[in-house]
Amino acid sequence: MKMNFLLLIALLPLLFSNCGESSGGDTPVEPILELAAEPLSYDVKADGDELTLSITSNTIWKISYDNSLFFRPSITTAKGDATIKITVDANETAEQRNGSISLVDKDETLDAFEVSITQEAGDIIVDPEIPDYIEADMSGVESNAAELAAKMIVGWNLGNSMEVPGGETGWSNPVVTKTLINGVKAAGFNAIRIPCAWDSHLENQTDYTIKPAWLERVKEVVDYCVDNQMYTIINIHWDGGWLEEHPMYEHQEAVNQKQAALWKQIAKYFRDYDEYLIFAGTNEVRENYNNPSSENIEVQESYVQTFVDAVRATGGKNAYRNLIVQTYNTNIDHGVNYHTMPTDEVENRLIVEAHYYDPYEFTIKTDDGFNTQWGEGYTDVTSWGQEDYLEAQFEKLKTKYIDNNIPVIIGEYSAMLRGDMTDELQAKHEESRNYYHQKVNEIAKSKEIITFYWDNGYTHKNASGLFNRSTGEQVHSEAIEAIINVYK
């Protein structure tokens, strides 16, 4: 209820008059300063409101208030009469909130007075605390790693969206919708990798609490996928580099502490999902792009071990959930030469992840010296990284892992679309690019490796997008067909 009354503060200066005649005429009378406001107090419901404060004045006045409070006036200084809108936020706490606005003339000649705002407590439903551990439960997660991998036919990456620090639209892609995911499924992909950021969505950097709203949003996107019966991977991606760029002893303890805290929360929150949801512990962890030192390998693998331990410690379906672990920098040769599988309390539930962007000069290089074509029968190709190299690299993965009953995914691969060429060269480039994607999948399929195409959402030159992110429609259908037709 608003209390409607008028406060009028007036300053009456002493007026002097000359009783006798004066050659200078009458002494000028100084104006009376006025400052009035209505109403002086508000009682606001918990769901918030927009209030109206009427000020009557003949001078310059100003408002002061604590801007960390739950309301915001539309203006804070003016001259003369004014109507101010005060926006009061919804109260999402269980406590009554109180605040006030101080109103005074600019020179503070008049006594200040206050307009008070009282807001009732919110009707808060406190969610029950999720237990850290529940009894192990195999229902819905019966498939071991090899059995699950056999169900994943071909995958696609929701790149440059959920892993953007601070929010999914920060790198110019639109909000992810079910329409997009439906389009990806309709095109023939039955698995999807969702790179995720977490560090920029924390309540604080002390106990690393993830904001509930972000967990809810990730869940919403995950549900778009699993409701479509798509095998869905969530990870900790680049995420500002706190994990990805620090496989060194000096960072090991702090990074592992944070890694454990985040995966404990993620694993608990998604614990009830069945085998359609898979966790991947890291992304491309590396100090640089050179060969790793023994220190790099030891620390990088400790981050993966921390992930496995944190997930298993939450119990429920996570006691048996299939997990994805990475080689150093997700590099094939580093995996073959250095990688050791983490210890796991349950057998045959780990999948290895590597990435493939070879040859670099064709797939992602943008400065001088890139090649526009790849493969036998084409001319503007690199001197390395052709079909025989691709075959040999994937054979290495088969020999080390698949032949030992450890499934492998290529979590990322793609060759970006080039532009600014003649029509003839552009056509040749796109034909060659499609052949590259076809060949990656043909050889991967022959080795029982599962691929996930890297789609960054942008469909112009120097980008790898395949779909319109707003409508889910195919933009580069020939590239999609080159991938999907391998599995028909």
Residue-wise pLDDT for 434-471, tens only, equals 999 999 999 999 999 999 999 999 999 999 999 999 99
Tokens of 107: 């020179």
Do residues 286 and 338 lie in contact, with contact meaning Cβ atoms separated by under 8 Å?
A: no
CA distance 381 to 428: 12
**Of the residues 119, 135, 168, which one is the last residue of a structural domain?**
119
CA distance 300 to 379: 40
- Residues 80-84: contacts with CB within 8 Å, 24+ apart? 81/54, 81/55, 81/56, 81/57, 82/54, 82/55, 82/57, 83/52, 83/53, 83/54, 83/55, 84/52, 84/53, 84/54, 84/55
Residue 21 confidence (pLDDT) above 90: no
> Which amino acid is located at 110 in the chain?
L
Residue 138 lies in a domain: no
Give pLDDT, residue 203: 95
Tokens of 242: 């706190």
- In 163-266, at which residue ranges do the beta strands (DSSP E only) sit? 191-194, 231-235
Q: What is the mean pLDDT of residues 110-125?
A: 82
Give pLDDT, residue 24: 46
- Interval 137-154: pLDDT, tens: 999 999 999 999 999 999
Do both 84 and 20 map to the same domain? Answer: yes
Do both 99 and 155 map to the same domain? Answer: no
Residue 2 lies in a domain: no
Do both 51 and 197 map to the same domain? Answer: no
CA distance 262 to 242: 12
320: confidence class by pLDDT, cuts 50, 70, 90: very high
Higher-pLDDT residue of 115, 279: 279
Residue 25 confidence (pLDDT) above 70: no
Give pLDDT, residue 29: 59
Residues whose CB is less than 8 angstroms from the CB of residue 249 and which lie 6 or more positions away in sequence, other chains included: 295, 299
Residue 136 lies in a domain: no
Do both 259 and 151 map to the same domain? Answer: yes
Residues whose CB is less than 8 angstroms from the CB of residue 441 and which lie 6 or more positions away in sequence, other chains included: 154, 451, 482, 483, 486, 487
Do both 450 and 309 map to the same domain? Answer: yes
Give pLDDT, residue 80: 86
Give pLDDT, residue 5: 31
Give pLDDT, residue 126: 57
Residue 287 is among the residues annotated as catalytic for this protein: no
| Helix, strand or coil, per DSSP, at residue 165 | coil
Residue 170 has, within 13 A of its CA and on its CB side, a CA count of 10
**CATH code, domain carrying 475:** 3.20.20.80
Residue 124 lies in a domain: no
Give pLDDT, residue 3: 37
Do both 245 and 100 map to the same domain? Answer: no
Residue 417 confidence (pLDDT) above 80: yes
Higher-pLDDT residue of 416, 73: 416
The active-site residue, picked from 168, 284, 287, 430, is 284
Q: Provide the whole-model pTM.
A: 0.77
CA distance 262 to 257: 9
**CATH code, domain carrying 99:** 2.60.40.10
- Interval 217-237: pLDDT, tens: 999 999 999 999 999 999 999
Tokens of 430: 């796109």
Give pLDDT, residue 136: 98
Residue 284 is among the residues annotated as catalytic for this protein: yes
Alpha helices in 313-422 (DSSP H): 332-338, 360-363, 387-400
Number of domains within the chain: 2
Residue 391 confidence (pLDDT) above 80: yes
- Interval 287-318: pLDDT, tens: 999 999 999 999 999 999 999 999 999 999 99
Residues whose CB is less than 8 angstroms from the CB of residue 287 and which lie 6 or more positions away in sequence, other chains included: 245, 246, 247, 248, 293, 296
Burial of 182 (0-12, 13-18, 19+ CB in 10 A): middle
Question: Mean of the per-residue pLDDT values for the chain?
Answer: 91
Residue 127 lies in a domain: no
CA distance 35 to 10: 7
Q: What is the mean pLDDT of residues 158-171?
A: 96
Residue 128 lies in a domain: no
**Residue 323: closest CA among 261, 396, 235, 258:** 235
Higher-pLDDT residue of 125, 388: 388
Do both 327 and 389 map to the same domain? Answer: yes
Residue 250 confidence (pLDDT) above 50: yes
Give pLDDT, residue 55: 86
Do both 50 and 108 map to the same domain? Answer: yes
Q: What is the mean pLDDT of residues 65-85?
A: 78
**Residue 276: closest CA among 233, 216, 313, 315:** 233
Q: What percent of the chain has pLDDT over 70?
A: 92
Q: What is the mean pLDDT of residues 195-220?
A: 97
Provide φ and ψ at 264, rounded to 5°. -60, -45
Provide φ and ψ at 241, rounded to 5°. 90, 5
Do both 326 and 460 map to the same domain? Answer: yes
**Of the residues 119, 135, 166, which one is the last residue of a structural domain?**
119
Residue 415 lies in a domain: yes
Do both 268 and 350 map to the same domain? Answer: yes
Do both 58 and 207 map to the same domain? Answer: no
Do residues 267 and 311 lie in contact, with contact meaning Cβ atoms separated by under 8 Å?
A: yes
Give pLDDT, residue 27: 56
Residues whose CB is less than 8 angstroms from the CB of residue 214 and which lie 6 or more positions away in sequence, other chains included: 198, 201
Residue 108 confidence (pLDDT) above 70: yes
Residue 10 confidence (pLDDT) above 70: no
Residues whose CB is less than 8 angstroms from the CB of residue 428 and which lie 6 or more positions away in sequence, other chains included: 372, 373, 378
Residues whose CB is less than 8 angstroms from the CB of residue 147 and which lie 6 or more positions away in sequence, other chains included: none
Residue 42 lies in a domain: yes
Do both 106 and 155 map to the same domain? Answer: no
Lowest mean pLDDT among 40-54, 132-146, 186-200, 390-404: 40-54
> Which amino acid is located at 377 in the chain?
G
Provide φ and ψ at 373, rounded to 5°. -135, 165
Q: Which domain holds residue 114?
A: 7-119
28: confidence class by pLDDT, cuts 50, 70, 90: low
The active-site residue, picked from 34, 168, 301, 412, is 412
